[in-house]
Amino acid sequence: MSVRTIAWGIALVALSACASSPVTAPVGPDAAPVGDAPASGDGPVAADAPAVVDAPAVVDASADAPAVADAPAPERREVTVPPQMIMPGQEVTRCREVRLGNVAPMLVRGIHVSIPRGSHHVIVYRSRATTEQPELTDCRGLSGILAGTAPLFIAQQPESGIDFPDGVGLSIAADQMIRLEEHFINTGSAPLMVGARVTFDLASGEGLTAADMMFWGTAGINVAPHTTGTAQYFRPALPGVNVFGLTSHTHQYGVSSTVERATALTGMGTELHRSTNWEEPPLTRFSPPLTFAEGEGLRLVCSYNNTSNGRLSFGESFNQEMCFLWAYYYPSQGFHVCFDRICQALPL
């Protein structure tokens, strides 16, 4: 794949700068780098929903999604990132804001994203903008996230998507404004034509339970040249939630990322999600959904092999690293974003 994912955390870099001190030790609840680890062997359209990776049912997840009898067929709408040419060596993030055109508040029952082979990484947001910006313009990744521009879906594969459990959907306003953000770097020797298509399946909110996302991660990445290392993050689950999908995100030096059910930053845990492909990490689904006992939460572990001549740290560029997870859950307690010490729930 000639175009590689680049970092989309410029806004989160700014967030980390707002923390009271650099992240060098476990934070609240817990996040810690384990750097320099020794190397080891260790308009209505029709679209088909792409397959996603299904996780085995979790035995102790007893809360099923609410059932909906005789649910009407969903309303289908589409927005696009228009075709654009990316030149060799060009790194760019571009955005547009367009109205979805739904006449009443609704719930999203499914989102499906198609990205041409050779491009990667599209973020689909609910935007609070009041005016459309249909032209593609240069933008900063994740800008506005703490002001209510919250992700609905983050596409990391040529074909990806999520269908919500029966009786569950993600709320949007009437005539919802959608922000599309695409970020790439062309590492090849020839120009590339890129773009994206996003399809929404919508339903009336009557009788449905609202869902949302948890978006958590750490800047605690510190790996010396030509060594391996890890970054970890733990946070207790939101009370009373049911998690039905999650995934992880690293960059090119990430050799694996896992998410575990755990009670602390270290110690015993039960693996829920594993990715060994930094370019196309799977979206792991849970049916029945995950539930959490008191004190339990999600532990994220990102492992790196720093083959470069420089020290590896957190950052937005292709040659820096990230360590994030995002999870879909219900009932909604808002879009929940945590970045080391900074944690905030955004009601939408």
Q: Domain 27-42+212-346, what architecture? A: Sandwich (2.60)
In whole angstroms, how far apart are CA 167 and each of 207, 240, 246, 292?
7, 17, 19, 21
- Answer whether residue 237 shows pLDDT above 90: yes
Give the whole-number percent of the chain exceeding pLDDT 90.
Answer: 62
Q: How far is Cα 246 from Cα 231, in angstroms, rounded to an integer?
A: 18
The CATH code belonging to domain 77-207 is 2.60.120.310
Q: What is the mean pLDDT of the chain?
A: 82
pLDDT per position as a tens digit, 17-61: 433 333 333 334 455 554 443 333 334 433 343 333 343 333 333
Task: Provide mean pLDDT across the span 291-318.
Answer: 94
Task: Provide mean pLDDT across the span 214-240.
Answer: 97
Do domains 27-42+212-346 and 77-207 share one topology? The answer is yes
Tell me the whole-structure pTM to 2 decimals. 0.79
Give the 3-state secondary structure of residue 259.
strand
Q: What is the pLDDT of residue 52?
A: 36
Task: Provide mean pLDDT across the span 112-135.
Answer: 88
Which contiguous run of DSSP H or E holds residue 278? Answer: none
Q: What is the pLDDT of residue 90?
A: 86
Residues 241, 296 contacting (CB under 8 angstroms)? no
- Answer whether residue 322 shows pLDDT above 90: yes
- The structure tokens listed for 262 are 């755990």
Domain coordinates of the chain in residue numbers?
Answer: 27-42+212-346, 77-207
Q: What is the pLDDT of residue 23?
A: 32
Task: Single out the residue of 110, 124, 107, 118 nearest to residue 49, CA to CA.
Answer: 110
Strand partners, 107: 171, 203
Task: Single out the residue of 160, 179, 180, 156 nearest to residue 5, CA to CA.
Answer: 156
Q: What is the pLDDT of residue 348?
A: 60
Residues 162, 110 contacting (CB under 8 angstroms)? yes
Q: How large is the greatest C-alpha to C-alpha distance in the chain, in angstroms?
A: 60
pLDDT per position as a tens digit, 54-101: 433 333 333 444 554 455 667 999 999 999 999 998 888 899 999 999
Amino acid at 211: A
Residue 341, Cβ density class (10 Å: 0-12 exposed, 13-18 middle, ≥19 buried): middle
- Answer whether residue 218 shows pLDDT above 50: yes
Band of residue 6 on the pLDDT scale cut at 50, 70, 90? very low
Q: 135-144, 227-236, 284-293, 295-304 — which is least confidently predicted?
A: 135-144
Q: What is the pLDDT of residue 183?
A: 82
Q: 42-51, 215-224, 243-252, 262-271 — which is least confidently predicted?
A: 42-51
Q: What is the pLDDT of residue 186?
A: 83
Give the whole-number percent of the chain exceeding pLDDT 70.
Answer: 77
Amino acid at 77: R
Q: What is the pLDDT of residue 31?
A: 52
In eight-state DSSP terms, residue 50 is P
Q: How far is Cα 345 from Cα 100, in angstroms, rounded to an integer?
A: 24
- Answer whether residue 3 shows pLDDT above 80: no
Residues 252, 311 contacting (CB under 8 angstroms)? no
Q: What is the pLDDT of residue 92?
A: 86
